[in-house]
Amino acid sequence: MTAEALVHSVLDSLAVRSDFPALQQTVRGGKRLVYLDNAATSQKPRAVIDAVQKFYERDNGSVHRGVYELSERATAVYEGARKKIARFLNAKDAREIVLLRGTSEAINLVAYTYGRKNVRAGDEILITEMEHHSNIVPWQMLCEATGAVLKVAPITDAGEVDLQAFEKLLSAKTKIVSAVYVSNSLGTVNPIAQMSALAHAAGAVMIVDGAQAAPHFLVDVQAIGADFFAFSPHKMYGPSGIGALYGRYELLDAMPPFLGGGHMISNVTFAKTTYAKPPAKFEAGTPNMEGAAGLAAAIDYVQALGIDAIDAHEQLLLKYATDALAKVAGLRIIGTAARKVGVVSFVLDGVHPHDVGSILDRHGVCVRAGHHCTQPVMERFKVPATTRASFGVYNTMEDVDALVEGLAAVRKVFS
């Protein structure tokens, strides 16, 4: 079987592509749109767009509060999405799912509430060198507020966490370990269950930044031992502005609230306010209801394709792209871990990644060029930035070929 036929045998990516209205357009004067920036945000299938529109056309009403039919429907959509996420991530209970804006807000919530309650001066928080800024800055803010110390587990030249060093950095002082499941700039899939087990053995809680995991393979928050797990559905064909924090119920229940306001209370008087139980305690204000409708449709969409088929499809693309890019003169791939998702970061001798990105854009190829909000990773590999291609369900080998052809054009400009 040819490689092209093999890709189509696990997922019919051309049929999948036709589900995405945005991918039907041409760009830059008639060029086929080759969208390879899925790690930043994915395009949306018709089913998700329709679910958002249907919510506005039929079900929009005040969630949780109203006594009329539209409000009941809005509440059913919103709470239905919560249940769907709980099943998707294999949480024990839907009350363990807090609906927020996304991964950044989820990690900030944990740092602010769990962190300020449980972390004292001299305690330690352990992260890794491959974290997104969203999983660095909230911990630095917590350390500033409490006098705790941030420790960083180094990564190897291949872009894998140095597990021995990680283990050595754990001690009775470690109160929190927070690590990325999948690196957005390197593509590395971390041995997160093993890291959780080590964190727990040291008596720390384990927070998993799952932004780049859930779109690509089956996630089971219980199996990986996550105490908290952050999720951004806009990277998984869902709407932006909605996301989730999974937290073990006992932990959520013992945490103080984050934002104050409507819905998060049990009773308010000027003398004393008592708070609602989780997840309501962390959901002040009118939430993103239409986003919840779209998010539920996105989960249905990936489950209908089959998450294992998605994984297999992206692995084939990753291999095809890695082999093809390795043959490009002067190109070096940054991130060569044994286990990766469909993310390829690279640098091209003598050409700044921003120039690579701009020239590729002229050919209709959308990639990300920059530090990908992982400046310490750039420092680790001694590069100012990388060009990153990241794959999704609708990408094909033709897309990879377009990338490689675009790179030949870059080379011509800079020769």
- Residues marked active site are found at 373
Query: With CB under 6 A as the contact rule, which of the stretches 128-136, 218-226, 351-359, 395-403 interacts with ligand 7TS?
Result: 128-136
**Pattern 46-85, binding to ligand 7TS, x per CB under 6 A?**
----------------------------------------
Query: With CB under 6 A as the contact rule, which of the stretches 74-82, 115-123, 131-139, 250-258 interacts with ligand 7TS?
Result: 131-139
Among 23, 27, 40, 49, contact with ligand 7TS (rule: CB under 6 A): 40
- Determine if 386 is a binding residue for ligand 7TS (CB under 6 A): no
Alpha-carbon distance of 163 to 199, in angstroms, equals: 12
Number of residues that bind ligand 7TS (CB under 6 A): 17
- Determine if 227 is a binding residue for ligand 7TS (CB under 6 A): no
| Minimum CB–partner distance for residue 40 and ligand 7TS (Å) | 3
Tokens encoding 365: 């190829």
- Determine if 315 is a binding residue for ligand 7TS (CB under 6 A): no
Longest CA–CA span in the chain (Å) reads 73
- Determine if 104 is a binding residue for ligand 7TS (CB under 6 A): yes
Cβ nearer to ligand 7TS, comparing 276 with 366: 366
- Determine if 219 is a binding residue for ligand 7TS (CB under 6 A): no
- Determine if 372 is a binding residue for ligand 7TS (CB under 6 A): yes
Query: With CB under 6 A as the contact rule, which of the stretches 6-14, 51-59, 257-265, 366-374 interacts with ligand 7TS?
Result: 366-374
- Determine if 45 is a binding residue for ligand 7TS (CB under 6 A): no
- Determine if 44 is a binding residue for ligand 7TS (CB under 6 A): no
Query: With CB under 6 A as the contact rule, which of the stretches 67-75, 151-159, 166-174, 204-212 interacts with ligand 7TS?
Result: 204-212
- Determine if 232 is a binding residue for ligand 7TS (CB under 6 A): yes
Cβ nearer to ligand 7TS, comparing 102 with 239: 102
Binding site for ligand 7TS (CB under 6 A): 39-40, 102-104, 132, 134-135, 180, 184, 209, 211-212, 232, 368, 372-373
